[in-house]
Amino acid sequence: MSEATAVATAPVAADAPLPFASAVPGAVIGSWAADSDQALFIAPDKLLPFLQYLRDQESYDFLSSVTCVDYSAYKGKARAGISERFDVVYHLYSTKKGGGPVRLHVRIPENETIPSATGLYPGANLQEREVYDLYGVKFEGHPNLRRVLTWEGFNGHPMRKDWQEAYFDEETKPFKNRHPVGAYQWHEDKLPWGDNNTYPSGWDPDSWTAPVTYVPVSQAPDHHAFGEMDTQSIVINLGPHHPSTHGVFRMLTRVDGETILALEPEMGYLHRNHEKIGERNTWLMNMPFTDRLDYINSMSNNLGYALAVEKLLDIQVPERAEYIRVIMAELTRVVNHTWSIGFILNDLGALQTPALYAIEEREMILDLFEEVSGARLMCNYLRFGGVVRDLTPGWEERAKYLAHDRLPRALDQLDELLSGNEIVKARGAGVGYLSPEDLLSLVSAAR
């Protein structure tokens, strides 16, 4: 981290002292979005002491997210006089005090580093790797800073505003070569080898070799004999799992017999970079893309995006539409829980039968979604300011029957069949215990 990074400054509001301004001298150097969701600018060289203060003195024990924003294309007055390209953004919650988050922004110039928070919040590990992968921001002191969603050797960092994919067309949609002209030529047809590949300048695929990366679990730990049998630990890959079940996910494990000594999660098998696609869409074009972020969460993802845009535009949603949207989100939550209950049993070895019990209830809810939106999975039902259309005649009665009659009975049945299940007890009770403190420190890694 350079001296220029460490002494970054920001204008400080003169009318009121900033929160935590005296906690760590020199840490809080300004504020952002003070009239809506206030965030604090933190000096990079004071980040770790300030995070430690929030965790130990203010009980902010949950680092929910570490994200990044590239402001290189931003021309607004809010950042007048600010030269740093990136903001690394932290959201911290207190599970003891409750309430909303503390938001922190750390401004970083291009090609500079920022201290890693993994020593204080281990769950920051994967999120810092994602920021490094997609934006190129390096975290000093990170135990394993390597790409997580793309591969080592990937050309550039795809969430930077100036990054362009190999088949780049234009900055905004609709692309002129598709509308109104309509004479689009496929990219691969323009290339002599007939494939949709464009190589970076100076890059030779025949001579390129993948860089060697350090994966902690691949290093054998100290060997200890267990009981009378002296065994050697080995590395076993669990996954990648099928992409249409739980997401593409691999666990690189080192096992000794049936004991897992170390585990390294590998997540980079399915990332379509919807964020980059969204930069070229109109606001409304992005709504159906939120369906596809998670095929079980279509309605909830619609709602999250709609709320964000409505907040930006200060749109007031009619009361009836608010109720409809919340009902859809709550039904989506039930779908998620039933799906999870069914498939966790699938993973534990009770193949198919529990999952089918849960899926049957899910199908009843999807019937309701299809009735109002025309689709079961990719609903595309919400709009800025409301929903696409009102509920169909009789929809409320069918929803009440599910909520007050069928679903309570079905959940009681699942509880009866599964809570005392010997497979669940044998493979769940007393296995892999995490203290509440350890769970909170690690949970953000799974988000």
Which of 134, 156, 178 is the C-terminal boundary of a domain? 156
Q: Same domain for 94 and 238? A: no
Q: Is residue 271 part of a domain?
A: no
Q: Provide mean pLDDT across the span 104-129.
A: 94
Q: Is residue 67 part of a domain?
A: yes
Q: Same domain for 360 and 421? A: yes
Q: Same domain for 234 and 316? A: no
pLDDT tens by residue, 235-247: 888 877 665 455 5
Q: Same domain for 31 and 144? A: yes
Q: Same domain for 133 and 254? A: no
Q: Is residue 203 part of a domain?
A: no
CA distance 318 to 340: 33
CA distance 4 to 175: 41
Q: What is the average pLDDT score of the chain?
A: 85
Q: Is residue 295 part of a domain?
A: yes
Q: Same domain for 254 and 328? A: no
In the predicted structure, residue 221 carries a pLDDT above the cut 70: no
Q: Same domain for 239 and 108? A: no
In the predicted structure, residue 142 carries a pLDDT above the cut 90: yes
In the predicted structure, residue 4 carries a pLDDT above the cut 60: no
Q: What Rg, from alpha-carbon coordinates, does the chain have?
A: 25
Closest CA to 383 of 299, 279, 444: 299
pLDDT at residue 310 in the model:
97
CA distance 268 to 260: 22
pLDDT at residue 426 in the model:
83
pLDDT at residue 122 in the model:
92
CA distances for 349 relative to 235, 258, 354, 417, 421, angstroms: 23, 16, 10, 15, 11
Q: Same domain for 426 and 316? A: yes
CA distance 113 to 90: 16
Contact 334, 364 (CB under 8 A): no
Q: Is residue 445 part of a domain?
A: no
The domain containing residue 30 runs over which residues?
3-156
Domain total for the chain?
A: 3
Q: Same domain for 341 and 406? A: yes
Predicted confidence band at 446 (pLDDT cuts at 50, 70, 90)?
A: very low
Q: Provide mean pLDDT across the span 25-30.
A: 94
Q: Same domain for 343 and 246? A: no
Q: Same domain for 248 and 286? A: no
State pTM to two decimals.
0.84
Dig out the tokens for 262 from the structure: 């170390």
